Structure 1
Amino acid sequence: MPDYFHGYAVVGLVAVVGVLFVAVAFTAGRLLRPVAPTPEKLLVYECGIDPVGEGWAHTQIRYYLYSFLYVIFAVDAIFLFPWAAVFAADGFGGVTLAEMFLFLGFLAAGLFYAWRKGVLTWT
């Protein structure tokens, strides 16, 4: 029975050491940093521009489209790694190759659609 819990003990020990490391780093930072608050330092900082007016701002929809396209291709990249591992296995080469071409075809169709709609132009 002790061998069974040895793996969990190692993981628990690493977690405790990690938490202690973070706690020591934050405590050392708090103790060693200079404390000299000024009104300028207490202002909200956003991209080097002083805050003026309300906190509400309009965001154009094209930024959401770019983030959506990023998510699509991030999923593609995540799918490629297990595919490469299965592709190397015996007996799965042809099937996984066809599945990957089908998957990449769907992604290419989506990219072509986005390009035809003008989503990929930065104006």
Structure 2
Amino acid sequence: MYNILIYSIILMFLLTFLLSLLMFISYKSMKDREKSSPFECGFNPFESSRIPFSSHFFLIAVIFLIFDVELVIIMPVILVMNSLNMTDIYIIMFIFLVILTLGLYHEWYNNMLSWV
């Protein structure tokens, strides 16, 4: 118990030191203000850089992430194919693909996939 307290105190001091070092290193002066401003091919920005974000683009990005995560789920199944029998693998993949197909149907039904 005593060791945990000592390690916690040391960790707090270390984190405080690193945070203050980071604040010192990343100090920005008024001269750096131009570097932080938006830049469009040598011209001043034509529009505000704080325009509203397209919700349709956000939905497309979420759909991409869903289909990208499917690879993370499928890859371990491929790696453990030798230890499982084929019927278990087919059942797992079938259930996963049914859930993925239902999600695709839901997105199609709610017109998330139309570009109009």
TM-score range relative to shorter protein:
0.5 to 0.7
Gaps of 5+ in 2: 1-35
Q: Which residue of 1 aligns with 2:54?
A: 60
Shift of the alpha carbon at 1:44? Answer: 3.1
CA RMSD across the alignment: 2.5
Find the aligned partners of 1:43 and 1:53 in 2 and give their Cα distance: 13
User: Could you list the runs of 5+ residues in structure 1 that have no partner in the other structure?
Assistant: 1-41
Residues in 2 aligned to 1:46 and 1:117: alpha-carbon distance in whole angstroms: 36
The answer to whether the Cα contact below 8 Å between 2:38 and 2:49 also exists between their aligned partners in 1 is no
Q: TM-score, normalised by structure 1?
A: 0.56
What is the CA deviation profile of residues 60-110 of structure 1, one whole-angstrom value per residue up to 9, with x for unaligned ones?
2111111111111111012111111222x1443211210111011000000
- Provide the residue aligned with 2:75 in structure 1: 81
Give the aligned partner of residue 110 of structure 1: 103
Conservation of the 8 A alpha-carbon contact between 2:38 and 2:45: yes
Using the size of structure 2 for normalisation, the TM-score is 0.60
User: 1:113, 1:48 → 2: CA distance?
Assistant: 45
Give structure 1 regions of 4+ aligned residues with deviation exceeding 4 angstroms: 46-50
Aligned-pair identity in percent equals 25
For the residue of structure 1 that corresponds to 2:56, the secondary structure is: helix
Alpha-carbon distance between aligned partners in 2 of 1:56 and 1:119, rounded to the nearest angstrom: 24
| Length, aligned pairs only | 82
Aligned counterparts of 2:102 and 2:42: Cα–Cα separation in 1: 40
State how far apart, in whole Å, the 2-side matches of 1:49 and 1:92 are: 63
Residue aligning to 1:45: 39
Deviation at 1:45, TM superposition (A): 2.8
